[in-house]
Structure 1
Amino acid sequence: MINANILKAFGLDPATCEAKKFGSGHINNTFLLTSANGERYILQRINTYVFREPDVIARNQRLAADYLAKHHPDYLFITPIATVDGEELHREGEEYWRMIPFIPGSTSVDQADTPKQAYEAAKQFGKMARFLHGIDLREFRASIPNFHNLTLRYSAFQESIRHAKEDRKAFAAELTEAFLRHSDIAVTFESLKTDPQFTDRLMHHDTKINNVLLDKDTFEGICVCDLDTLMPGKIISDLGDMMRTYLSPVSEEERDFSQIAVRDEYFEALMRGYLSEVGGTLTETEKAHLFYAGKFMIYMQGIRFLTDYLNGDVYYPVKYPEHNYDRAKNQLTLLQRLIEKEPALQQVIDACLRQPA
């Protein structure tokens, strides 16, 4: 049941407005609202444990919306609906709420079931990156500081190894050593992050396929959604997260590691979709590290899972004692599958870069 004051804050009548739980997201509480006249909206309570400063989210989105309205006025960029007091967020006690338009005719999927879906989603993320290329980043702040800072994540991983309880350290010894053998991925990030040719951009940072709205009939891309993590970052964040979550037929929860694979046709589809939009804006350094994006993101997520296992499962919710261990092993397997195919997949990237935008 939603507090009536929240609905009133957005100009809705609680007596005639219907609210239903909506979507598959795990961070914010999301509801589909239907007003008396049939208009629909998305209402969300922002998770302030994850997003400690909701006003930063609102400000980042407003800055991006204003830039896009000026430079790309026809682009569909979902922005919050103001309260009756003209605010983009409503505070109710310690809770922060926002309302955004519901896009009619749209749907979302939780996993890429066809190469076309991967292509359409990647194309939408690429289009947003292209349209936001050149925006002044100085006024933007991180909604989650150090979210994709592999240097920090690797340091936390090393710390967890030093302080883990002996039983967990012993159980995970082989997996820990396997991740340490890939530490060159963290070393590469350390050198890249200060390279002036590895430019900062306004990135989405959470490019799972369910953060793109698709046409419910044709599955063609409509727009990007869920913009909470829109903040300055590197191209490898968005591209890497797509590679991590689109390429395998199974998710990070899969315990039958034999099912983990890198599907070539999905790799080609997402690269073609993404680079057809953003490719013309890339520096030579960025182009040289497009394949690295997948290694970067998969490795970072893998060591985050293993770090949490070694620390006693203090961050990610678990359903059984080895849950985070299995998630980490899943990601290591995906990383190995990706690296095995590097020569062939790099040829795909090269071909996509040669295509005219």
Structure 2
Amino acid sequence: MEEKKVRHILNQFSVYGDLESFKGFGNGHINNTYISVRNQGGTLVRYTHQRINKNVFKNPEQVVQNIHNVTGHIYNKLKAEQNGSISPSRRVLQIVPAKDGKLWHIDDAGDYWRTYVFIEHASTLEVMSGTDLAYKVGKAVGTFQKQLSDYTGPVLYETIPRFHNMHWRYEQFDEAVASDKAGRLSSVKDEVDFLQTNRDRGMILSDGLANGRLKSGITHNDTKLNNILFDDATGEAICMIDLDTVMPGTVLFDTGDLIRTATNTGAEDERDLSKVGFNADLFRALIGGYMSEASDFLTDYEKSLIAESGRVFAQIMAVRFLTDYLNGDVYYKIERPSHNLDRTRTQLALMKSMDAQKNEIESIMRELGIGLSER
């Protein structure tokens, strides 16, 4: 985008001071991000500006409104507590409104932009380095859920309809199998058969929400490591970021994706499946950290499904990856023809590794004082 256009857009927000500079930031594939520097009476202050991807988020206003409602609740809670060395302004994202009073600015091309106060002296991490970090990550997710467990504000929008609905994902999968648009079905019979065999087991979270056994709350829905901000000085988790997918759901959506991403010994698209497996030590630390914050607001039934939620999320991602592979790679960005198939096989390998360590997982859950559901 031309520098003049970006500068004009950034100046549409209610930010005090002269715009000194700005530059592109990060390597995200969803939203375009810039960091600006403002001179506020001799003090340089940074802000984050993002153009929201309308192809992914069909209703950007709803996305920003959800974030505003959630971050406002968390900020007010932190301000009331004031019991830590870290300022509330560093422990939750803060949206800066546009000059017209709206939470977003619409540019001449019809694209939506939003602005946050930049949280200084903090970083994200890409590699799960060990159990100490796993504990912190689990605790961060538990803290986020705990902060929102008493939310009574406006009902949040479902910004991506049926995002984690396993029934819907299998409907898409069935259509992909039936149509075989890319002519690839004959080469993935084993993968299809495995997913069909596990079909009913994977429905437990979707069915639990539908029949009321699982309560609906507020979930982040993308609880991977690099969506947590850590303090550069102390190494402690500060807050959750990338809140675009915050919406109603069961807290087990967050534990599921957390377990799926944090305990896998291989990359999500690893081609050497011997490197892929479930790390029980990371799981123990992860859930230990999570339960240190979440224990009080979870029901016994929710607790009993924590471990299973990780397997469910490996399954739902396998279904989504294989659906895209059968459809000719129309959704996920790929770097090689087999990329979505590699991703599928990694998720299936993770599921099988979890099954092979069933006794160890049950032992860890008992160790943490958590009962297990009979499903």
TM-score (norm 1): 0.93
Name the SS for the 2:211 alignment partner: coil
CA contact (8 A) 2:69 2:154 kept: no
Matches within 5 A, 1:132-171: 132-136=148-152, 139-165=155-181, 167-171=183-187
Aligned to 2:65: 59
User: Is the Cα–Cα contact under 8 Å of residues 206 and 241 in structure 1 kept in the other structure?
Assistant: yes
CA 1:84 to 1:313, structure 2 compared with 1: closer, same or farther past 3 Å?
Answer: same
Measure how far apart 1:347 and its partner are. Answer: 2.1
Indicate if the aligned counterparts of 2:10 and 2:49 stay in contact, CA closer than 8 A: no
Per-residue deviation at 1:67? 2.9
1:215 partner amino acid: D
1:1-357 counterparts in 2 under 5 A? 1-2=2-3, 3=5, 4-11=7-14, 16-36=19-39, 37-73=43-79, 74=82, 75=88, 76-93=91-108, 94-136=110-152, 139-165=155-181, 167-353=183-369
Question: Residue deviations 1:140-185, cap 9 Å, x none?
Answer: 1111111111110011111111111473010111211122121132
Do the aligned partners of 1:125 and 1:207 also contact (CA within 8 Å) in 2? yes
- Greater shift after overlay, 212-221 or 145-154? 212-221
1:129 positional shift: 0.5
Spell out, residue by residue over 1:46-75, the C-alpha distance to the aligned partner (whole angstroms, 9 max, x if none). Answer: 111111111111211222234334444345
How far the C-alpha of 1:34 sits from its partner, in A, is 1.9
Identity level (%): 31
Q: Check the 8 A contact 2:49/2:115 in 1, yes or no.
A: yes
Please give the alpha-carbon distance, in whole angstroms, between the structure 2 residues aligned to 1:217 and 1:100: 22
Q: 1:166 to 1:319 in 2, by over 3 A?
A: closer
Structure 1 residues 88 and 154, CA gap change in structure 2 (3 angstroms): same
Alpha-carbon shift at residue 274 of structure 1 (Å) = 0.9
Contact 1:275 1:353 survives alignment (8 Å):
no
Question: Match of 2:200, as an amino acid?
Answer: D
Amino acid aligned to 2:98: T
Question: Does the CA-based 8 Å contact 1:67-1:135 persist in structure 2?
Answer: yes
- Contact between 2:169 and 2:319, CA under 8 Å: does it hold in 1? yes
Where structure 1 has 5 or more consecutive residues not aligned to the other structure, the ranges are none
Q: What is the number of residues matched between the two proteins?
A: 354
- Superposition deviation, residue 115 in structure 1: 2.0
- CA distance, structure 2, for counterparts of residue 323 and residue 194 of structure 1: 34
User: What's the offset of the Cα at 1:11?
Assistant: 4.8
Distance 1:34 1:81, change over 3 A: same
Report the CA distance shift for 1:255/1:14 in structure 2 as closer, same or farther (over 3 A).
farther
AA partner of residue 275 (structure 1): M
* CA-CA distance at 1:333 after TM superposition: 0.6
**Gap regions ≥5 residues in structure 2:** 83-87, 371-375
d(CA) in 2 for partners of 1:305, 1:137: 35
Give the alignment's Cα RMSD to 1 decimal: 2.0
Q: Any idea what the Cα deviations from partners look like across 1:83-139, whole Å, max 9, x if unmatched? A: 222221111021111111111110001231222222212211111111211323762
Task: Say whether the 8 Å CA contact 2:180–2:326 is kept in structure 1.
Answer: yes
Between the aligned partners of 2:182 and 2:217, the Cα distance in structure 1 is 42
SS of residue paired to 2:128: coil
Give the Cα separation in 1 of the matches to 2:137 and 2:23. 26
Could you list the per-position Cα deviations for residues 240-289 of structure 1 after superposition, in whole angstroms to 9, with x for gaps in the alignment?
Answer: 11111111232212111111121222111110111111111111211111
Mapped partners of 1:10, 1:282: distance in 2:
39
How far the C-alpha of 1:186 sits from its partner, in A, is 2.8
Q: CA 1:222–1:175 in 2, change beyond 3 Å: closer, same or farther?
A: same
- Asked if the contact 1:27–1:47 (Cα under 8 Å) also holds between the matched residues in 2, the reply is yes
1:298–1:332 CA contact under 8 A, matched in 2: yes
Any conservation in 2 of the 1:118–1:246 contact (CA below 8 Å)?
A: yes
Alpha carbons of structure 1 residues 353 and 63: separation in structure 2 relative to 1, 3 Å: farther
**Does the 8 Å contact 1:9/1:84 carry over to 2?**
yes
